Every structure is written in C-alpha cells, then in structure tokens.
Amino acid sequence: MASQDLIRVGSYLSVLVIMATWELIAPRRKLTASKLCRWGGNLTIVVLNTVIARLLFAGGVVATAVMAQERGWGLLNWVDWQGWLEMGLAVVALDLVIYCQHQVFHLVPILWRFHMMHHSDLDLDVSSGVRFHPVEMVISLLVKSAAVMALGVAPLAVVAFEIVLNATALFNHSNVKMPLGLDRVLRWFIVTPDMHRIHHSVDPRETNSNYGFNVPWWDRLFGTYCAEPALGQLGMKIGLEHLGPPVCLNLFMMLRFPFVAALGRYAGRTQS
C-alpha cells in the first residue's frame, strides 16, 4: 500500500501516453479546436485538482478504507468471504455508485452547472478524461468515501478501482479509431470511445445517455444505453450548443464557468 501513489501515477501516465499516441496514429474524428489550447486547459486543471485533493484529503479514499477496515465499518467487514470475491463485488458496487453519481450530476441543476464544464470541451480526446471542475472532483471524492465506508471496501480494492477508473476514463474519452466489429464486442464488457462519445453530443437526448465509465452494464440495465448517435460518429457535434460560438476555455475560464454559463437543456430540464 505504501507504493500505491507510484503505481497509480505510473499506470495513469502509461495509459495517457498510449492513448495520445494512438490518437495521432489513428484518429476517429477530425479535431475542430486548437489542441494546444485545449490540452493546456485540461492538463492544468487536473494538476490543480490533484493539489486540492492532496490538501483536503491527505490519504484520499484509501485512507477512508483503512479507517473503515480498522473499525469494522461497512457491509463487507461484517462477512467472511474469499478476498477475491469481496474485491470483485466492491469494484462492481463502486462502479454502480459512480454511474448513479453521474446521472445525479445531470439531473440536479446546481450539480449540472459544475459537470457542464466537462461537457463544454469543443472536441473529445484523451485530455477530456481529466477535465473536471474542482467542485465536482471534491463532491466525487466525498461520494466515493461515503460509499467505501458504507460498503466496507478494502484498501486494496479501492486502489484497484481507482486505477481502473482513471484508465477507462482516459480510454473512453480518446479520439481513437478501432474496428467496428471489435467495438461491438468490447461494448459488452467495457465502455468504448465510440460509446462514450455519444454522451458528449450536443443533442440532449444523447447527452443524457451512456453514463457509464467502466462497464456498460448499468446503461443497458437501466435503459440509458444509446447504441449510435442520430448523425453518426463523424457527423455528431461535440459540446454544448446553447453556449453559442465555440470558445476554447483556459484554466480561469473553466473555474468560473459554472457561475456564468447558461444551464441549457439537461436531464432534469427539457427546454432551454
């Protein structure tokens, strides 16, 4: 556990480099905005989020898991099952929590304001997978911590889940091209870039679909799955149409975005 930070950072950077390279070699869509501007804003906000998380949550969600384990809190601490089974159930349960949290961020106006910044990206590529407002990041950490305490998730399971979540977020936001047959098969087990890209469509019916980050099962189970966008993967427009002319946001603009941007249409509001 002492080396968890090194493992997480190493895996994160490895996936980032792999997906960024894949995007250069085989892009799915032609980008419409300056990559320098977008990557500058997206990467600076992830650095800021990392600093804030360290200051407010010194040990992160793992520290919560350690405390819950030491004090016997949570459902999984009340049973004596095989370690592999408990870890598998914990990872799946946390993924369901993230799916539900994502939907709530689309349903509740004040939460949508902060999550809307993620959807304001003009293109979708691997850097979009780290583009989250600090307020949303803090709320997400609190939700995951509460879930870890309630479930009694072991620290090792938390580390495994965080590694998988970060890797899949980078993967499914990537602008990469893969064989359509492979995509159809993978969609039964993992959220693919073509599947998640639909969630970033300007069409509210498509924006309010495909909420999953890791696995596609929750979208299929709860009726929020969308197989293809109305205009196709190449014709679909990315972003938030109600904001007017496209603007590439720098760090300052992203931080103030929730307080100045119009709400537009979202899951809890059908008309702009």
Adjacent-strand bridge partners of 269: 266
Cα gap 49→52, rounded to integer Å? 5
- Give the pLDDT confidence of 101-144 residue by residue, as tens digits: 999 999 999 999 999 999 999 999 999 999 999 999 999 999 99
Q: Specify whether the CB–CB gap between 196 and 187 falls below 8 A.
A: no
- Give the pLDDT confidence of 8-22 residue by residue, as tens digits: 889 999 999 999 999
Residue 1 has pLDDT above 70, yes or no: no
Residue 255 has pLDDT above 80, yes or no: yes
Q: What integer is the mean pLDDT of 167-173?
A: 96
Q: Specify whether the CB–CB gap between 41 and 254 falls below 8 A.
A: yes
The share of the chain scoring above pLDDT 90, in percent, equals 76
In our burial notation (b when 16+ CB lie closer than 10 A, e otherwise), range 139-165 reads bbbebbbebbbebbbbbbbbbbbbbbb
Cα gap 251→133, rounded to integer Å? 10
- Give the pLDDT confidence of 221-233 residue by residue, as tens digits: 999 999 999 999 9
Residue 98: the pLDDT is 96
Q: What integer is the mean pLDDT of 155-179?
A: 94
Name the token pair of 188: 């039964």
Residue 2 has pLDDT above 70, yes or no: no
In which residue are the tokens 């019916």 written? 205
Cα gap 265→262, rounded to integer Å? 9
- Give the pLDDT confidence of 20-73 residue by residue, as tens digits: 999 999 999 999 888 899 999 999 999 999 999 988 887 789 999 999 999 999
Residue 272: the pLDDT is 41
Look at the pTM and tell me if it is higher than 0.95. Answer: no
Q: How many residues are present in the chain?
A: 272
**Residue 193 Cα to chain centre, angstroms:** 12
Average pLDDT of the residues of the chain = 91
Residue 160 has pLDDT above 70, yes or no: yes
